[in-house]
Structure 1
């Protein structure tokens, strides 16, 4: 039985339905501007990674993050085993950083899933360091409660803030982003370091 809106209750979301939900949300939410920032569909990346990025994929982030996305898709392409593919959902900016909704299609090992999660988290951390408009080095900014990453030229007067990062867990191991290494590094447990 449905309610007044015709909703019949929660549907089961298997991988196929989840992929369709991501694709529909991306198509509906597609715009040519996000908060005044022109967005692109990154045709160069679609040509470079045709097996990972569907031709109809929409991006809701600025052109300055192309280098961040290029590294992400390179890392994902190297991590996926033969026969597996990537179910790509939304790619967008939220709270100033790049967010990627993606999941492997097909069965993958824990090591592959960790590599995919790592690539996603690296993309998020890298995006805090590049202007979303032009790709030059940038910082997180807050203008009237809108968080974005910009260089001085695109900051619109907003002062720089520290990246909104912290320790993250992947398969029970704590990591943090090391900017000098451009990689996630294991965080030592304080008890282990003291002992």
Structure 2
């Protein structure tokens, strides 16, 4: 009996694809799992465009998704030459990306470097999520003279206690930096409060009168929109670099407790949580889905 042909994404290679590659391809493109991976890819693309104004390369995208194996599903078979290795990587990534594009989660322009962008379905889901206001909005924290004003969030986790103690006046000082007409909202979890205080101290040392417009979490990462002068002039490079460094650091800190963390996609929202808080949030989401079934 003739041997089964290799998968289309492995064509032109002499050795069969390793089981790790086949399993990962099924994971990335399977009916029950593709949406979650496609969403994670779209989130990373959106984050990259926010930081750099252009999309990531395919290599950067898959390295983000498969960091432990440097962007490939596993080791290559023995004996592959350079051309075959390159063909394997290109075929695997290309056909996975085609599936995610078919689902409307990502898109790109053919033969255009760094043209990766989010797809129509991803934008549509994001708009619906924003219009719906999330499944379980955050409850407003108490507001007093020592507590920064915080409000309901569409990202769906509960804010429990008012900010008290040493952090309260330092966060109040950050709230006082908001430009006139902008809502005085520090819309992040308490695990990032110390990060905000350190960022404010660093920015204040460079621009004592700097102005803040927004402080929130987006795609699981801190977003701190500020200006050194508030007059529309270009920001000093060190000022922008300090903000970028804090935003990058937030992607490794649990938003609830500040512990080392990773990013999790739960009910179409991206959170940066430690393992414990991710498990609790997943359990909460599962319970909510069962209740609404």
Q: Shorter-chain TM-score category?
A: 0.5 to 0.7
Q: Give the C-alpha shift of residue 158 in structure 1.
A: 7.9
Give ranges in structure 2 of 5+ residues lacking alignment: 1-148, 179-183, 283-293
Flag the structure with more relative contact order, 1 or 2, with Cα contacts below 8 A and sequence separation at least 6: 1
Aligned match for 1:38, one of 148, 155, 159? 159
Q: TM-score, normalised by structure 1?
A: 0.54
Q: For 1:60-75, list aligned pairs within 5 A.
A: 60-75=187-202
Instruction: Specify whether residues 55 and 39 from structure 1 end up closer, same or farther in structure 2 by C-alpha distance, changes over 3 A only.
Output: farther
Q: For 1:14-53, list aligned pairs within 5 A.
A: 30-33=150-153, 34-38=155-159, 44-45=166-167, 47-48=169-170, 52-53=174-175
The answer to whether the 8 A contact 2:215-2:224 is kept is yes
Q: Secondary structure at the match of 1:123?
A: helix
The answer to whether the 8 A contact 2:254-2:261 is kept is yes
Q: TM-score, normalised by structure 2?
A: 0.37
More strand by share: 1
What CA distance in whole angstroms lies between the structure 2 residues aligned with 1:140 and 1:68? 17
Aligned match for 2:271, one of 141, 148, 158? 148
Instruction: Specify whether residues 55 and 116 from structure 1 end up closer, same or farther in structure 2 by C-alpha distance, changes over 3 A only.
Output: closer
Aligned match for 1:139, one of 235, 240, 262? 262
More helix by share: 2
Residue 54 in 1 paired to residue 169 in 2? no
How many residues in Structure 1 have an aligned counterpart in Structure 2? Answer: 127
Moved beyond 4 Å, runs of 4+:
39-46, 49-52, 106-110
Aligned match for 1:100, one of 224, 229, 244? 224
The answer to whether the 8 A contact 2:253-2:260 is kept is yes
Aligned match for 2:249, one of 123, 126, 131? 126
